[in-house]
Amino acid sequence: MSGQDAVNVAKAFNDSLSLTGVIISKLDGDARGGSALSIRHMTGVPIKFSGVGEKVSDLDIFHADRMADRILGMGDVMTLVEKVQEEVDEKEAKKAANKMMSGKFGLDDMLAQMRQVQKLGSLGGLLKLIPGMPKISPEQQAIAEKEMRNFEIIINSMTYEERHNPSIFQYSRKIRVANGCGKQVSDVNRVLKKYEQMKDMMKQMEQYKKSGRMPPGMPPGFGGMR
Amino acid sequence: MAFENLTEKLSRIFKKIRGQARLTESNMDEMLKEIRVALLEADVNYKVVKEFINNVKEKAIGQEVYTKLNPSQMITKIVHDELETLLGGGENEIKYQANKPTVILLVGLQGSGKTTTAGKLAYLMKNKLHKKVLLAAGDIYRPAAIDQLEQIAKSIDVPLFKKGTDVSPVEISKEAKALAFNDHYDVLIIDTAGRIAIDEALMEELNQIKKVVDFTPC
């Protein structure tokens, strides 16, 4: 975060101690990041790690090629894949995928999937790793994250029966759920609509899978993310 | 995240040349000038920028970008490669010692995040690289620095070697190293007090620590 000064400090320390590696901490807080680009060249000391957040897990091994990709806005699929492998339970994911494909896809499955995505970190940070994804502003991100939370709240207020078979929802049930979680009936409707959309998409995916083609306009593997 | 502004500017620059059917020397120069400004605004050292631009130019001419069918892609690739070299290129991973603990000594200014990073490093090495990690609390100057590290160590379940604030950091490091060696730890991470590089007494202390832990480059 100290900009040019970081390079001078590293140089000074290197002169008296001859360092063997540099860790760039607080890289997330620095919108410019020029020191990261200069430090290797000016000191000759390789960058080993970079700190990208406050949590104890927010330290990455530094990969020059991936960072270059990211600087040029080309995304960073490698890091995304690693993240997914670390955080997502493979068995669980397979089970969910099977469930989706078989058409038995309930609201709590949708919730479980959303939680898996949330585990990967902030939405904005995630989108940055996917090449060609549109950038979203912090406001949009906040709205999306709030919506996710609302979904969770609303789905948690439903009965088991309702979650597994949302077609039983009539007006009275919606009112009950809305009152139960302190939301409006329109919010409940939105959740149900999203669920229907997702279900439709699953059906399409299944058909595409059968015919062996990819759905138009969707990067492979990202069906069902929205 | 870092590089936000830089990413934005670079993509704007590349978009501009993408619209042009062919790349001439003059609009190439203009583009390089814009890249230079973008890098300087991102706080990159001016010497580095100068060399970067020269390298890109040289490579671009050497590879006959002008005659290529798709010059903008070629340029993007050259810039990408140059950025990669600038950031270190190749493998930067730590080379772990085979039969003795690899010692990581964290040094830096006050408030640069050494203690936090010590915890993060221990977490990463323990959970992702499956190493046996020992943390050592060598910051005897800042109040509660040892407590802080202790809390972190407890939360990530990594053993901590501490001796209180009355023992010199050199002594602590020496004992920590001996313990790490005898108990077959893979990695020893020593947290030190923040210091500025012109404080000779404290820098000498670090050199002492380096000596007693038998530091091998990694």
Reply yes or no on whether the pLDDT at A225 is more than 50.
no
CA distances from B115 to A216, B180, B191 (A): 49, 19, 6
Single residue among A62, A77, A105 that ends a domain in this structure: A62
Which residue from A12, A56, A73 is facing B152, i.e. has the nearest CB?
Answer: A56
Do A54 and A99 fall into the same domain? no
pLDDT tens-place string over residues A6-16? 888 888 899 88
Is A197 part of a structural domain of the chain? yes
**Which residues touch B129 (CB under 8 Å, ≥6 apart)?**
none
Which residue from B8, B44, B120 is facing A51, i.e. has the nearest CB?
Answer: B120
Chain A residue nearest residue B73, CA to CA: A72
Chain B residue nearest residue A3, CA to CA: B43
pLDDT tens-place string over residues B188-205? 999 999 998 888 899 999
**Which residues touch B198 (CB under 8 Å, ≥6 apart)?**
A12
Task: Between B26 and B91, name the one with better pLDDT.
Answer: B26
pLDDT tens-place string over residues B158-198? 999 989 888 899 999 999 999 999 999 999 999 999 998 88
Reply yes or no on whether the pLDDT at A21 is more than 80.
yes
Reply yes or no on whether the pLDDT at A67 is more than 90.
no
pLDDT of residue B132: 92
Reply yes or no on whether the pLDDT at A184 is more than 60.
yes
pLDDT of residue A109: 82
By C-alpha distance, which of B146, B143, B121, B144 is closest to B134? B121
Is A173 part of a structural domain of the chain? yes
Q: Do A19 and B45 touch (CB under 8 A)?
A: no
Do A100 and A45 fall into the same domain? no
Is A69 part of a structural domain of the chain? no
Residues of A in contact with B76 (CB under 8 A): 72
- Asked if the C-beta of A16 comes within 8 angstroms of chain B's C-beta atoms, the answer is yes
- Asked if the C-beta of B43 comes within 8 angstroms of chain A's C-beta atoms, the answer is yes
- Asked if the C-beta of A28 comes within 8 angstroms of chain B's C-beta atoms, the answer is yes
Do A96 and A52 fall into the same domain? no
Residues of B (105-124) whose Cβ lies below 8 Å from A: 106-109, 112-113, 116-117, 119-121, 123-124
**Residue spans per domain, chain B:** 2-87, 102-212
Predicted TM-score (pTM) of the model is 0.71
The lowest-confidence range among A56-65, A75-84, B66-75, B177-186 is: B66-75
Reply yes or no on whether the pLDDT at A207 is more than 90.
no
Could you tell me which CATH number the domain at B2-87 has?
1.20.120.140
pLDDT tens-place string over residues A50-63? 888 888 888 888 88
Single residue among A14, A29, A62 that ends a domain in this structure: A62
Q: Tell me the shortest Cα–Cα distance from A130 to chain B, in angstroms.
A: 14
Do A21 and A117 fall into the same domain? no
Reply yes or no on whether the pLDDT at A23 is more than 70.
yes
Reply yes or no on whether the pLDDT at B152 is more than 50.
yes
Number of A/B CB contacts below 8 angstroms equals 171
Q: Tell me the shortest Cα–Cα distance from B40 to chain A, in angstroms.
A: 8
pLDDT tens-place string over residues A130-173? 776 666 777 887 888 888 888 889 988 899 888 888 888 889 99
Chain B residue nearest residue A50, CA to CA: B117
Task: Between A35 and B69, name the one with better pLDDT.
Answer: A35
Residues of A (38-67) whose Cβ lies below 8 Å from B: 38, 40-42, 46-49, 51-52, 56-59, 61-65, 67
Is A224 part of a structural domain of the chain? no
Q: Supply the range of the domain harboring residue A29.
A: 2-62
Reply yes or no on whether the pLDDT at B115 is more than 50.
yes
Mean pLDDT across chain A, nearest whole number? 79
Strand A59-61 with A47-51, pairing: antiparallel
Do A45 and A118 fall into the same domain? no
pLDDT of residue A205: 74
Q: In the structure, what pLDDT confidence band is assigned to residue B136 with cuts at 50, 70 and 90?
A: very high
pLDDT of residue B191: 93
As for the ipTM of the complex, it is 0.84
Reply yes or no on whether the pLDDT at B109 is more than 60.
yes
Residues of B (162-191) whose Cβ lies below 8 Å from A: none
Question: Is-same-fold flag (B2-87; B102-212)?
Answer: no
The percent of residues above 70 in pLDDT, for chain B, comes to 88
pLDDT of residue A53: 82
pLDDT of residue A213: 61
Domain containing residue A100: CATH number: 1.10.260.30
Do A58 and A100 fall into the same domain? no
The token pair that represents A83 in the structure block: 């993240």
Could you tell me which CATH number the domain at B102-212 has?
3.40.50.300
Do A199 and A151 fall into the same domain? yes
Residues of B in contact with A138 (CB under 8 A): none
Phi and psi torsions of A49, nearest 5°: -140, 160
Phi and psi torsions of B181, nearest 5°: -70, -45
Reply yes or no on whether the pLDDT at A175 is more than 50.
yes
Do A210 and A116 fall into the same domain? yes
pLDDT of residue A222: 46
Residues of B in contact with A9 (CB under 8 A): 108-109, 196-197
Give the mean model confidence (pLDDT) for residues A73-99: 74
Q: In the structure, what pLDDT confidence band is assigned to residue A98 with cuts at 50, 70 and 90?
A: confident
Reply yes or no on whether the pLDDT at B67 is more than 60.
no
Do A55 and A91 fall into the same domain? no
User: What is the C-alpha to C-alpha distance for residues B136 and B141, in angstroms, rounded to an integer?
Assistant: 14
How many alpha carbons fall within 13 Å on the CB side of residue B132? 13
The token pair that represents A127 in the structure block: 């989108």
CA distances from B151 to B117, B159, B178, B196, B218 (A): 13, 11, 24, 26, 28
Number of structural domains (chain A) is 2
Do A50 and A91 fall into the same domain? no
Q: Where does residue B114 rank: exposed (0-12), middle (13-18), buried (19+ CB within 10 A)? A: buried
CA distances from B146 to A90, B118, B136, B138, B149 (A): 39, 12, 9, 8, 5
